[in-house]
Amino acid sequence: MLMIAVIAFVAVLSFMDHAGIFGYRGDDRSQYEGRVATITYAADGDTIDIDLPDGKRPVTRIRLWGVDCPEIAHEEGEEDAYFGREATDFVRNKIVGQKVRLVFDPNRRPRDKFGRLLAYAYLVDSGEMLNELLIRRGFGYADRRFEHVYKHRFVQLDKKAMKALAGLWAEVTPEQMPAWRQRMDARKAR
C-alpha cells in the first residue's frame, strides 16, 4: 500500500512539473511549433509577446528570428536608435492584436540566452511572415550574424528594400546602422 502511495505521489509531482508549476517548460518545439496565438505586446520592432503561457509567465516572449530592428530606449537616459521608434510603432499599431502561427528554424535551438523563443511568425490573416514583412518594408535589417534557413531570402529582401529606399533606408547613414552591420560592411570594403 505504501508503494502505491509513493508511485501516485511521484506521478502527481511529475504531472505538476510538466504542467509548468515548478517552472518546467517542456519541449519548446512540441509546445509551440505550429501554434496560433495572438500578439499582445511589442517590446520593440522584433520582440513580441503572445498570449500563450511560458512556465509561470502568462505570456511568451518571441524574438523574431533573422531580423534586427533598430532598438528603442528602455531606460531613462538612453536614446532610440535611428528608426527604432518607427519600427516599434509599426508593430504596436498595425500588428499587435493579430494572430500568428509560430515556426522554428529546424537547425537552431528554440531559445536565446535571454529565454526568448526564436521564431518565424506567420500572420494568420495574410499568411505573410512578419519577419520578412519588417525587412521588406525597411523596419529592420536582415540579421546576417547567424545562420538560419531563410538567411539568403532575408538578405535578398534587405537588398531590395535598400534599393527601393524603403523605411529606414530612405535616410539611414552608416553611423546609424547597428554595430554588427557596420563591422560587416567595413570588412567587405577592405
Confirm if 49 and 43 have CB atoms less than 8 A apart.
yes
Note the pLDDT of residue 1: 73
Cell of 23: 517552472
Q: Where are the domains of the chain?
A: 27-189
Q: Which CATH architecture has domain 27-189?
A: Beta Barrel (2.40)
Note the pLDDT of residue 173: 95
Buried b (16+ CB within 10 A) or exposed e, 33-61: eeeebebeebbbbbbbbbebebeeeebbb
What is the model's pTM? 0.84
pLDDT tens profile 22-81:
444 569 999 999 999 999 999 999 999 999 999 999 999 999 999 999 999 988 888 999
Note the pLDDT of residue 75: 86
Dihedral angle at the C-alpha atoms of 98, 101, 106, 111, nearest 10 degrees? Answer: 50
Distance, CA of 142 to CA of 68 (rounded, Å)? 6
Element (H, E) at 103: strand 99-103
Note the pLDDT of residue 185: 85
Does residue 9 or residue 149 have the better pLDDT?
A: 149
